[in-house]
Structure 1
Protein backbone atom coordinates (compact mmCIF):
# COMPACT_ATOMS: atom_id res chain seq x y z
CA UNK A 1 0.00 0.00 0.00
CA UNK A 2 1.30 3.46 -0.93
CA UNK A 3 1.48 5.80 2.09
CA UNK A 4 -0.34 9.17 2.11
CA UNK A 5 3.06 10.91 2.01
CA UNK A 6 4.11 8.90 -1.05
CA UNK A 7 0.82 9.75 -2.77
CA UNK A 8 1.42 13.44 -2.19
CA UNK A 9 4.94 13.24 -3.59
CA UNK A 10 3.68 11.21 -6.53
CA UNK A 11 1.25 14.00 -7.40
CA UNK A 12 4.10 16.49 -7.13
CA UNK A 13 6.29 14.31 -9.34
CA UNK A 14 3.60 14.30 -12.03
CA UNK A 15 4.30 18.03 -12.51
CA UNK A 16 8.02 17.41 -13.05
CA UNK A 17 9.67 19.44 -15.81
CA UNK A 18 12.69 17.65 -17.33
CA UNK A 19 16.05 19.27 -16.67
CA UNK A 20 17.80 21.09 -19.50
CA UNK A 21 19.90 18.90 -21.77
CA UNK A 22 22.98 21.04 -21.05
CA UNK A 23 23.79 23.82 -18.60
CA UNK A 24 25.32 27.23 -19.32
CA UNK A 25 28.78 25.65 -19.47
CA UNK A 26 27.62 23.10 -22.03
CA UNK A 27 27.84 20.15 -19.61
CA UNK A 28 25.29 17.34 -19.90
CA UNK A 29 25.51 16.44 -16.18
CA UNK A 30 26.03 18.72 -13.21
CA UNK A 31 25.17 19.12 -9.54
CA UNK A 32 23.29 22.21 -8.43
CA UNK A 33 22.78 22.99 -4.71
CA UNK A 34 20.56 26.04 -5.13
CA UNK A 35 17.14 26.61 -6.65
CA UNK A 36 18.63 28.79 -9.37
CA UNK A 37 20.20 27.39 -12.57
CA UNK A 38 23.94 27.85 -13.08
CA UNK A 39 24.36 29.37 -9.63
CA UNK A 40 26.21 28.53 -6.46
CA UNK A 41 28.85 25.92 -5.55
CA UNK A 42 29.21 22.58 -7.28
CA UNK A 43 29.98 18.99 -6.26
CA UNK A 44 33.30 20.00 -4.71
CA UNK A 45 31.30 20.67 -1.51
CA UNK A 46 31.39 16.87 -1.12
CA UNK A 47 35.12 16.50 -1.72
CA UNK A 48 36.64 13.97 -4.13
CA UNK A 49 33.90 11.39 -4.76
CA UNK A 50 35.83 9.01 -7.02
CA UNK A 51 35.52 5.49 -5.64
CA UNK A 52 33.23 6.69 -2.83
CA UNK A 53 29.77 5.33 -1.99
CA UNK A 54 27.24 8.17 -2.24
CA UNK A 55 23.62 8.25 -1.07
CA UNK A 56 21.12 10.94 -2.06
CA UNK A 57 18.05 11.40 0.14
CA UNK A 58 15.29 12.48 -2.22
CA UNK A 59 16.96 11.76 -5.55
CA UNK A 60 13.97 12.65 -7.74
CA UNK A 61 14.72 12.18 -11.41
CA UNK A 62 18.36 11.40 -10.61
CA UNK A 63 20.20 14.20 -12.39
CA UNK A 64 22.39 15.31 -9.48
CA UNK A 65 23.32 11.75 -8.54
CA UNK A 66 24.05 10.90 -12.16
CA UNK A 67 26.68 13.63 -12.19
CA UNK A 68 28.45 12.04 -9.23
CA UNK A 69 28.39 8.71 -11.09
CA UNK A 70 30.23 10.33 -14.01
CA UNK A 71 32.91 11.39 -11.50
CA UNK A 72 33.46 7.81 -10.37
CA UNK A 73 31.16 7.55 -7.33
CA UNK A 74 29.10 4.42 -6.63
CA UNK A 75 25.66 5.91 -6.21
CA UNK A 76 22.35 5.09 -4.54
CA UNK A 77 19.34 7.37 -4.67
CA UNK A 78 16.17 6.99 -2.65
CA UNK A 79 12.89 8.76 -3.21
CA UNK A 80 9.50 8.19 -1.64
CA UNK A 81 7.53 8.77 -4.87
CA UNK A 82 7.19 5.40 -6.64
CA UNK A 83 7.59 6.76 -10.18
CA UNK A 84 10.92 8.47 -9.47
CA UNK A 85 13.09 5.36 -9.37
CA UNK A 86 11.79 4.16 -12.73
CA UNK A 87 12.28 7.54 -14.38
CA UNK A 88 15.76 7.98 -12.92
CA UNK A 89 16.82 4.46 -13.97
CA UNK A 90 15.43 4.93 -17.48
CA UNK A 91 17.18 8.28 -17.86
CA UNK A 92 20.54 7.59 -16.25
CA UNK A 93 20.92 3.83 -15.90
CA UNK A 94 23.20 3.68 -18.95
CA UNK A 95 25.93 5.43 -16.94
CA UNK A 96 26.46 2.48 -14.59
CA UNK A 97 27.29 2.72 -10.89
CA UNK A 98 23.77 3.93 -10.13
CA UNK A 99 20.92 2.41 -8.12
CA UNK A 100 17.56 4.07 -7.51
CA UNK A 101 15.25 2.82 -4.76
CA UNK A 102 11.71 3.73 -3.72
CA UNK A 103 11.88 4.31 0.03
CA UNK A 104 11.18 6.71 2.87
CA UNK A 105 14.47 8.16 4.15
CA UNK A 106 13.93 7.16 7.79
CA UNK A 107 12.83 3.63 6.85
CA UNK A 108 15.79 3.17 4.52
CA UNK A 109 18.39 4.46 6.96
CA UNK A 110 16.89 2.43 9.82
CA UNK A 111 17.23 -0.84 7.94
CA UNK A 112 20.41 -2.89 7.59
CA UNK A 113 22.44 -1.83 4.61
CA UNK A 114 25.74 -0.48 3.31
CA UNK A 115 27.82 2.25 4.88
CA UNK A 116 28.27 5.37 2.75
CA UNK A 117 31.10 7.86 2.39
CA UNK A 118 28.77 10.66 1.29
CA UNK A 119 25.14 11.33 2.17
CA UNK A 120 23.45 14.43 0.82
CA UNK A 121 20.05 16.03 0.22
CA UNK A 122 19.20 18.89 -2.14
CA UNK A 123 15.81 20.33 -1.22
CA UNK A 124 15.05 16.74 -0.27
CA UNK A 125 14.41 14.57 2.78
CA UNK A 126 16.25 16.84 5.26
CA UNK A 127 13.68 19.54 4.58
CA UNK A 128 10.78 17.22 5.41
CA UNK A 129 12.08 15.05 8.28
CA UNK A 130 12.62 15.78 11.96
CA UNK A 131 16.39 16.24 12.24
CA UNK A 132 16.39 14.76 15.74
CA UNK A 133 15.31 11.51 14.09
CA UNK A 134 17.09 11.76 10.74
CA UNK A 135 20.55 13.02 11.69
CA UNK A 136 21.52 10.15 14.05
CA UNK A 137 20.38 7.67 11.38
CA UNK A 138 22.54 9.39 8.76
CA UNK A 139 25.54 9.39 11.08
CA UNK A 140 25.12 5.67 11.77
CA UNK A 141 25.32 4.91 8.05
CA UNK A 142 28.36 7.11 7.32
CA UNK A 143 31.92 5.86 7.27
CA UNK A 144 34.59 7.44 9.45
CA UNK A 145 35.39 10.78 7.84
CA UNK A 146 32.19 10.62 5.81
CA UNK A 147 30.48 13.79 4.57
CA UNK A 148 26.86 14.82 5.13
CA UNK A 149 25.61 17.85 3.20
CA UNK A 150 22.25 19.38 2.44
CA UNK A 151 20.61 22.48 1.00
CA UNK A 152 17.16 24.07 1.25
CA UNK A 153 15.42 27.40 1.68
CA UNK A 154 16.35 29.68 4.59
CA UNK A 155 14.27 29.73 7.79
CA UNK A 156 10.79 31.22 7.57
CA UNK A 157 7.91 31.42 10.01
CA UNK A 158 6.35 27.94 9.91
CA UNK A 159 3.03 28.77 11.54
CA UNK A 160 0.69 26.04 12.69
CA UNK A 161 1.45 22.85 10.74
CA UNK A 162 -0.95 20.68 12.77
CA UNK A 163 -2.88 18.30 10.57
CA UNK A 164 -0.49 18.61 7.64
CA UNK A 165 0.64 15.30 6.16
CA UNK A 166 4.06 16.69 5.25
CA UNK A 167 5.84 19.13 7.52
CA UNK A 168 8.69 21.36 6.39
CA UNK A 169 11.64 22.00 8.71
CA UNK A 170 12.70 25.62 8.36
CA UNK A 171 15.40 26.04 10.98
CA UNK A 172 17.82 28.95 11.40
CA UNK A 173 21.40 28.08 10.51
CA UNK A 174 22.49 28.00 14.15
CA UNK A 175 19.82 25.40 14.93
CA UNK A 176 20.96 23.17 12.07
CA UNK A 177 24.45 23.34 13.56
CA UNK A 178 23.10 22.44 17.02
CA UNK A 179 21.14 19.48 15.64
CA UNK A 180 24.18 18.14 13.79
CA UNK A 181 26.43 18.53 16.83
CA UNK A 182 23.87 16.74 18.99
CA UNK A 183 23.90 13.84 16.54
CA UNK A 184 27.68 13.56 16.81
CA UNK A 185 28.82 15.40 13.70
CA UNK A 186 31.87 17.65 13.59
CA UNK A 187 33.57 20.08 11.19
CA UNK A 188 30.17 21.68 10.64
CA UNK A 189 30.07 24.52 8.13
CA UNK A 190 26.79 26.30 7.39
CA UNK A 191 26.15 29.25 5.14
CA UNK A 192 23.41 31.01 3.24
CA UNK A 193 24.28 31.30 -0.44
CA UNK A 194 22.90 34.58 -1.74
CA UNK A 195 20.49 34.59 -4.66
CA UNK A 196 21.74 35.73 -8.08
CA UNK A 197 19.21 38.58 -8.06
CA UNK A 198 18.43 41.05 -5.26
CA UNK A 199 15.24 40.46 -3.33
CA UNK A 200 15.06 36.72 -3.97
CA UNK A 201 15.61 34.06 -1.28
CA UNK A 202 19.05 32.54 -0.82
CA UNK A 203 19.87 28.89 -0.15
CA UNK A 204 21.02 27.37 3.12
CA UNK A 205 23.95 25.01 2.50
CA UNK A 206 25.27 22.87 5.35
CA UNK A 207 28.20 20.42 5.41
CA UNK A 208 29.48 18.22 8.24
CA UNK A 209 31.72 15.19 8.86
CA UNK A 210 31.59 12.16 11.09
Structure 2
Protein backbone atom coordinates (compact mmCIF):
# COMPACT_ATOMS: atom_id res chain seq x y z
CA UNK A 1 0.00 0.00 0.00
CA UNK A 2 2.91 2.36 0.70
CA UNK A 3 4.23 1.86 -2.86
CA UNK A 4 0.76 2.56 -4.26
CA UNK A 5 0.45 5.74 -2.21
CA UNK A 6 3.94 6.87 -3.23
CA UNK A 7 3.01 6.43 -6.90
CA UNK A 8 -0.22 8.36 -6.35
CA UNK A 9 1.58 11.26 -4.70
CA UNK A 10 4.14 11.19 -7.52
CA UNK A 11 1.27 11.68 -9.98
CA UNK A 12 -0.15 14.45 -7.80
CA UNK A 13 3.25 16.15 -7.77
CA UNK A 14 3.33 16.41 -11.56
CA UNK A 15 0.26 18.63 -11.50
CA UNK A 16 1.67 21.04 -8.90
CA UNK A 17 3.70 24.08 -9.91
CA UNK A 18 6.95 24.90 -8.15
CA UNK A 19 6.78 27.58 -5.47
CA UNK A 20 7.13 31.11 -6.82
CA UNK A 21 10.58 32.72 -6.89
CA UNK A 22 9.35 35.49 -4.57
CA UNK A 23 6.20 36.14 -2.56
CA UNK A 24 4.14 39.33 -2.45
CA UNK A 25 6.66 40.92 -0.07
CA UNK A 26 9.57 40.10 -2.37
CA UNK A 27 10.95 37.38 -0.08
CA UNK A 28 12.71 34.44 -1.70
CA UNK A 29 11.73 32.01 1.09
CA UNK A 30 8.73 32.06 3.41
CA UNK A 31 6.55 29.78 5.55
CA UNK A 32 2.91 29.17 4.66
CA UNK A 33 0.48 27.13 6.77
CA UNK A 34 -2.57 27.63 4.56
CA UNK A 35 -3.68 26.69 1.04
CA UNK A 36 -3.68 30.38 0.07
CA UNK A 37 -0.63 32.41 -1.01
CA UNK A 38 0.64 35.23 1.21
CA UNK A 39 -1.87 34.40 3.92
CA UNK A 40 -1.78 33.38 7.56
CA UNK A 41 0.94 33.14 10.23
CA UNK A 42 4.52 32.05 9.65
CA UNK A 43 7.35 30.07 11.20
CA UNK A 44 6.95 31.84 14.55
CA UNK A 45 4.30 29.23 15.35
CA UNK A 46 7.12 26.73 15.87
CA UNK A 47 8.94 28.74 18.60
CA UNK A 48 12.29 27.41 17.41
CA UNK A 49 15.52 28.27 19.23
CA UNK A 50 18.46 29.56 17.15
CA UNK A 51 19.92 26.68 15.18
CA UNK A 52 17.13 24.34 16.31
CA UNK A 53 16.30 20.96 14.82
CA UNK A 54 12.96 20.87 13.02
CA UNK A 55 11.15 18.10 11.12
CA UNK A 56 8.60 18.47 8.31
CA UNK A 57 6.29 15.45 8.02
CA UNK A 58 5.33 15.30 4.35
CA UNK A 59 7.65 18.06 3.18
CA UNK A 60 6.57 17.90 -0.48
CA UNK A 61 8.61 20.20 -2.70
CA UNK A 62 10.32 21.74 0.31
CA UNK A 63 9.32 25.41 0.35
CA UNK A 64 8.69 25.65 4.09
CA UNK A 65 11.72 23.52 4.84
CA UNK A 66 14.01 25.72 2.74
CA UNK A 67 12.77 28.80 4.60
CA UNK A 68 13.65 27.27 7.96
CA UNK A 69 17.08 26.22 6.73
CA UNK A 70 17.71 29.76 5.48
CA UNK A 71 16.86 30.97 9.00
CA UNK A 72 19.74 28.85 10.29
CA UNK A 73 17.78 25.80 11.44
CA UNK A 74 18.74 22.17 10.89
CA UNK A 75 15.68 21.49 8.75
CA UNK A 76 14.83 17.85 8.06
CA UNK A 77 12.04 16.71 5.74
CA UNK A 78 10.53 13.33 4.98
CA UNK A 79 8.12 12.54 2.18
CA UNK A 80 6.71 9.36 0.67
CA UNK A 81 6.97 10.68 -2.90
CA UNK A 82 10.30 10.53 -4.78
CA UNK A 83 8.87 12.97 -7.34
CA UNK A 84 8.09 15.54 -4.66
CA UNK A 85 11.60 15.24 -3.26
CA UNK A 86 13.10 15.58 -6.74
CA UNK A 87 11.18 18.86 -7.11
CA UNK A 88 12.55 19.99 -3.74
CA UNK A 89 16.13 19.27 -4.81
CA UNK A 90 15.57 21.04 -8.13
CA UNK A 91 13.99 24.13 -6.57
CA UNK A 92 16.32 24.41 -3.55
CA UNK A 93 19.74 23.11 -4.64
CA UNK A 94 22.57 23.41 -2.15
CA UNK A 95 20.58 24.98 0.71
CA UNK A 96 22.77 24.54 3.76
CA UNK A 97 21.05 22.83 6.68
CA UNK A 98 18.26 21.29 4.58
CA UNK A 99 18.07 17.49 4.73
CA UNK A 100 15.61 15.36 2.72
CA UNK A 101 14.54 11.75 3.26
CA UNK A 102 12.22 9.48 1.28
CA UNK A 103 9.94 7.16 3.21
CA UNK A 104 6.99 6.77 5.54
CA UNK A 105 6.73 9.59 8.09
CA UNK A 106 5.79 7.36 11.02
CA UNK A 107 8.65 4.94 10.33
CA UNK A 108 11.05 7.87 10.11
CA UNK A 109 9.83 9.30 13.42
CA UNK A 110 10.36 6.03 15.27
CA UNK A 111 14.06 6.01 14.40
CA UNK A 112 14.76 9.77 14.56
CA UNK A 113 16.82 11.76 17.02
CA UNK A 114 14.85 14.37 19.06
CA UNK A 115 13.66 17.60 17.46
CA UNK A 116 12.86 21.06 18.82
CA UNK A 117 9.74 21.22 16.63
CA UNK A 118 7.79 18.90 14.35
CA UNK A 119 5.20 20.14 11.89
CA UNK A 120 3.01 19.06 8.99
CA UNK A 121 1.33 21.36 6.46
CA UNK A 122 -1.43 19.40 4.70
CA UNK A 123 1.09 16.59 5.01
CA UNK A 124 1.69 13.19 6.52
CA UNK A 125 0.17 13.99 9.91
CA UNK A 126 -3.15 14.61 8.11
CA UNK A 127 -3.00 11.13 6.57
CA UNK A 128 -1.91 9.12 9.62
CA UNK A 129 -4.06 7.81 12.45
CA UNK A 130 -3.59 10.19 15.43
CA UNK A 131 -3.55 7.16 17.73
CA UNK A 132 -0.17 6.29 16.21
CA UNK A 133 1.09 9.68 15.06
CA UNK A 134 0.57 11.76 18.22
CA UNK A 135 2.39 9.55 20.76
CA UNK A 136 5.25 9.02 18.30
CA UNK A 137 5.59 12.77 17.71
CA UNK A 138 5.52 13.40 21.46
CA UNK A 139 8.29 10.86 22.03
CA UNK A 140 10.44 12.52 19.34
CA UNK A 141 10.08 16.09 20.63
CA UNK A 142 12.48 17.60 23.12
CA UNK A 143 10.88 18.99 26.30
CA UNK A 144 9.31 22.33 25.40
CA UNK A 145 9.18 21.37 21.74
CA UNK A 146 6.24 22.34 19.52
CA UNK A 147 4.09 20.15 17.32
CA UNK A 148 1.94 21.97 14.77
CA UNK A 149 -0.09 20.86 11.80
CA UNK A 150 -2.52 22.39 9.33
CA UNK A 151 -5.23 20.78 7.23
CA UNK A 152 -8.69 21.32 5.82
CA UNK A 153 -11.36 21.84 8.48
CA UNK A 154 -13.62 18.82 8.87
CA UNK A 155 -16.92 18.74 7.02
CA UNK A 156 -19.68 18.87 9.65
CA UNK A 157 -20.69 15.33 10.62
CA UNK A 158 -17.80 13.67 8.70
CA UNK A 159 -15.43 12.87 11.53
CA UNK A 160 -12.73 10.29 12.13
CA UNK A 161 -11.17 8.29 9.31
CA UNK A 162 -12.25 9.58 5.88
CA UNK A 163 -11.29 8.67 2.31
CA UNK A 164 -9.32 10.88 -0.07
CA UNK A 165 -8.93 9.98 -3.73
CA UNK A 166 -5.57 10.79 -5.32
CA UNK A 167 -5.45 10.69 -9.15
CA UNK A 168 -3.00 8.25 -10.73
CA UNK A 169 -3.51 9.13 -14.37
CA UNK A 170 -6.26 8.86 -17.01
CA UNK A 171 -6.01 5.07 -17.38
CA UNK A 172 -5.92 4.09 -13.70
CA UNK A 173 -8.36 4.26 -10.85
CA UNK A 174 -7.39 6.83 -8.21
CA UNK A 175 -5.54 5.67 -5.14
CA UNK A 176 -7.56 5.74 -1.97
CA UNK A 177 -5.73 7.18 1.03
CA UNK A 178 -7.10 7.74 4.50
CA UNK A 179 -7.14 11.03 6.38
CA UNK A 180 -8.37 11.91 9.87
CA UNK A 181 -10.83 14.76 10.35
CA UNK A 182 -12.18 16.13 13.63
CA UNK A 183 -13.85 19.41 14.64
CA UNK A 184 -11.47 22.06 15.94
CA UNK A 185 -12.78 21.60 19.48
CA UNK A 186 -11.90 17.88 19.46
CA UNK A 187 -8.19 18.28 18.67
CA UNK A 188 -7.07 19.82 21.99
CA UNK A 189 -8.73 16.97 23.87
CA UNK A 190 -7.01 14.37 21.65
CA UNK A 191 -3.65 16.04 22.12
CA UNK A 192 -4.05 16.21 25.91
CA UNK A 193 -4.99 12.53 26.00
CA UNK A 194 -1.62 11.69 24.47
CA UNK A 195 0.32 13.90 26.90
CA UNK A 196 0.64 17.25 25.14
CA UNK A 197 0.11 20.61 26.82
CA UNK A 198 -0.67 24.09 25.54
CA UNK A 199 -3.11 22.60 23.04
CA UNK A 200 -4.97 24.85 20.61
CA UNK A 201 -6.89 24.36 17.37
CA UNK A 202 -8.08 27.33 15.34
CA UNK A 203 -9.75 27.70 11.97
CA UNK A 204 -7.99 30.49 10.08
CA UNK A 205 -10.51 32.19 7.77
CA UNK A 206 -9.89 32.25 4.04
CA UNK A 207 -8.65 35.58 2.64
CA UNK A 208 -11.36 38.21 2.43
CA UNK A 209 -10.72 38.74 -1.27
CA UNK A 210 -11.69 35.98 -3.69
CA UNK A 211 -14.58 33.55 -3.83
CA UNK A 212 -13.09 30.69 -1.83
CA UNK A 213 -14.38 30.47 1.73
CA UNK A 214 -12.83 27.28 3.15
CA UNK A 215 -10.50 28.13 6.02
CA UNK A 216 -7.48 26.27 7.35
CA UNK A 217 -7.40 24.30 10.60
CA UNK A 218 -4.19 25.07 12.49
CA UNK A 219 -3.40 22.79 15.43
CA UNK A 220 -0.59 23.45 17.92
CA UNK A 221 0.68 21.76 21.07
CA UNK A 222 3.78 21.51 23.26
CA UNK A 223 5.67 18.70 24.90
CA UNK A 224 5.85 19.87 28.49
CA UNK A 225 8.40 18.92 31.13
Normalising to structure 1: TM-score of the pair?
A: 0.92
Query: Do the aligned partners of 1:173 and 1:191 also contact (CA within 8 Å) in 2?
Result: yes
What residue number does 1:136 align with?
135
| 2:65 alignment partner, SS class | helix
Instruction: Give how far 1:161 is off.
Output: 4.0
What residue number does 1:176 align with?
187
State how many pairs are aligned: 209
Instruction: Give how far 1:127 is off.
Output: 1.3
| 2:69 alignment partner, SS class | helix
What residue number does 1:187 align with?
198
- Once the two structures are overlaid, the 10-residue window that deviates more, 154-163 or 48-57, is 154-163
| 2:20 alignment partner, SS class | coil
C-alpha distance 199-9 of structure 1, shift in aligned 2 (>3 A): closer
Instruction: Give how far 1:19 is off.
Output: 1.1
Instruction: Give how far 1:50 is off.
Output: 2.2
What residue number does 1:68 align with?
68
What residue number does 1:150 align with?
149
Q: 2:218 aligns with which of 192, 195, 205?
A: 205
What residue number does 1:117 align with?
116
Query: Do the aligned partners of 1:106 and 1:137 also contact (CA within 8 Å) in 2?
Result: yes
Normalising to structure 2: TM-score of the pair?
A: 0.86
- Tell me, in whole angstroms, the C-alpha distance in 2 between the residues paired with 1:105 and 1:2: 11
C-alpha distance 199-48 of structure 1, shift in aligned 2 (>3 A): same
Are 1:196 and 2:207 matched, yes or no? Answer: yes
- Tell me, in whole angstroms, the C-alpha distance in 2 between the residues paired with 1:49 and 1:175: 29
- Tell me, in whole angstroms, the C-alpha distance in 1 between the residues paired with 2:179 and 2:133: 13
- Tell me, in whole angstroms, the C-alpha distance in 2 between the residues paired with 1:76 and 1:161: 28
What residue number does 2:56 align with?
56
Deviations 1:131-185 (A, max 9, x none): 1110111111100111100111111154874997301212111221122111111
What residue number does 2:81 align with?
81
Query: Do the aligned partners of 1:80 and 1:103 also contact (CA within 8 Å) in 2?
Result: yes
Q: 2:178 aligns with which of 167, 175, 187?
A: 167
- Tell me, in whole angstroms, the C-alpha distance in 1 between the residues paired with 2:78 and 2:31: 17
Query: Do the aligned partners of 2:164 and 2:177 also contact (CA within 8 Å) in 1?
Result: no
| 2:185 alignment partner, SS class | helix
- Tell me, in whole angstroms, the C-alpha distance in 2 between the residues paired with 1:56 and 1:49: 16
Instruction: Give how far 1:49 is off.
Output: 4.2
Instruction: Give how far 1:34 is off.
Output: 0.8
Cα RMSD (Å): 2.1
- Once the two structures are overlaid, the 10-residue window that deviates more, 114-123 or 148-157, is 148-157
Query: Do the aligned partners of 1:77 and 1:101 also contact (CA within 8 Å) in 2?
Result: yes
Listed as ranges, the gaps of 5+ residues in structure 1 are: none
Instruction: Give how far 1:199 is off.
Output: 5.7
